Amino acid sequence: MSTTTLTAAEIDHPYRVDGPVTIEEARRYCERLAKSHYENFLVAGLFCPRPLRPHFYSVYAYCRISDDLGDEIGDPQKSLILLDWWEQELDAMYRGAPRHPVFVALAETVAEFGIPPDPFRDLLKAFRQDQTTTRYPTYTDLLGYCRYSANPVGRLVLYVCGVNDAERLALSDKTCTALQLANFWQDVVRDLEKDRIYLPLEDMDRFGYTEADLLARRFTPEFAALMRFEVERARDLFAEGLRLCPLVDRRVRLDIEMFNRGGLEVLRRIEQQGYDVLRRRPAIPKSRQMAILFRRLLAGLIQRHDPRT
């Protein structure tokens, strides 16, 4: 916990809410936040069963605000204070006294699906770590970070889908770690602007690419080889994570597969531009997203109508 005398109430941020809210107001708050922030391939959420959508909205709202408190405040000390405040709000919810709209809505989700506090707390560990750790000596260290920054999100999604067994949670972890890595390799320059390097230092050393090279944005054969190595690592994790798809309810299978396919498309785009993510960020146009979605839908229709399946 922070030892500063500054309090969360004295820090300006967009998520402060004064006064109590009704459950209906809380649900609308989460839905507005989720719909205004949807990112790559969350278009797949359109196919989420309607009764589950409010629960996904509340989970997403929690994750979004947690991320923003850690990443958008612009002052590590203030971020740590606000993350402490957010965890206090989480604790209040688990004590049966939610105050913030997100937790008023989330309390319903937690009660209905029996979600433990661990994945919510783990996310906050990652965002606190972001305030103090900007380099990762080894790949193992980076995977340790992903355990807290990415894997809890997939576990929360599976809880809402009624899944909580060790096998499927572990497969979800593979996908979530892979998505986090794909995002890191896509956003090398954006992270560098925040003085964060997620490329493991041991890998940079192995391929003969220095931190000075990276800070100077030098694209070299050594950097290309390094990125090729990291892209293949992430692709292997996606391949493992795809094994989850046939093990979940058909109603949410498309969403899970689209997250995998979206991440794989990011990796393909990195390869397509020769692994040079220093001069141009690889992005997926909306038209390409929809093409991938259409192809998966068509494949599903063919499979359902194939007499051999």
Domain at 104, CATH number: 1.10.600.10
Note whether 105 and 175 are same-domain residues: no
DSSP letter for 135, please: -
Compute the Cα dihedral for 182, 188, 194, 197 and give only its sign.
positive
Mean pLDDT is lowest, of 77-86, 121-130, 254-263, 273-282, for: 254-263
For residues 160 and 163, what is the distance between their CA atoms, to the nearest angstrom?
A: 7
Q: Both 42 and 155 in a single domain?
A: no
C-alpha dihedral (277, 262, 168, 69), degrees to nearest 10 = 60
Domain end among 58, 84, 116: 116
The answer to whether residue 237 is domain-embedded is: yes
156 shares its domain with 24: no
> Which H or E run contains 280?
none
For 37-48, what is the mean pLDDT? 50
DSSP string, 217-251: T---HHHHHHHHHHHHHHHHHHHHHGGGGGGS-HH
- The beta strands (E) that lie in the chain are given as none
Whether 125 is covered by a domain: the verdict is no
Digit-coded pLDDT (tens) for 262-300? 899 999 999 999 999 999 999 876 555 555 555 555 555
Query: CA 300, CA 295: separation in Å to the nearest integer?
Result: 9
Could you give the CA distance from residue 249 to residue 229 in angstroms, rounded to a whole number? Answer: 34
Q: Is residue 1 assigned to a domain?
A: no
Residue 66 in any domain: the answer is yes
In a domain, 79, yes or no: yes
Give 171: exposed, middle or buried? Use CB within 10 Å, 0-12, 13-18, 19+.
buried
Q: Are residues 167 and 303 in the same domain?
A: yes
| pLDDT, mean of residues 67-78 | 93
What average pLDDT does the structure give for the chain?
88
- Residue 3 resides in a domain: no
Write out the residue range of the structural domain in which residue 47 sits: 18-116
Q: Is the same domain home to 193 and 301?
A: yes
As for how many domains the chain has, the answer is: 2
Is residue 253 one of the residues assigned to a domain?
A: yes
Q: Are residues 65 and 150 in the same domain?
A: no
> pTM of the entire structure?
0.86
Residues 162 and 200 occupy one common structural domain: yes
Q: How far is CA 48 from the centre of its chain?
A: 18
- Two structure tokens written together for 204: 């940079």
270 and 145 co-located in one domain: yes
Residue 271 in any domain: the answer is: yes
| 173 and 90 in a common domain | no
148-191 tens-digit pLDDT: 999 999 999 999 989 999 999 999 999 999 999 999 999 999 99
Residues 188 and 112 grouped into a single domain: no
Same domain (yes/no): 143, 288: yes
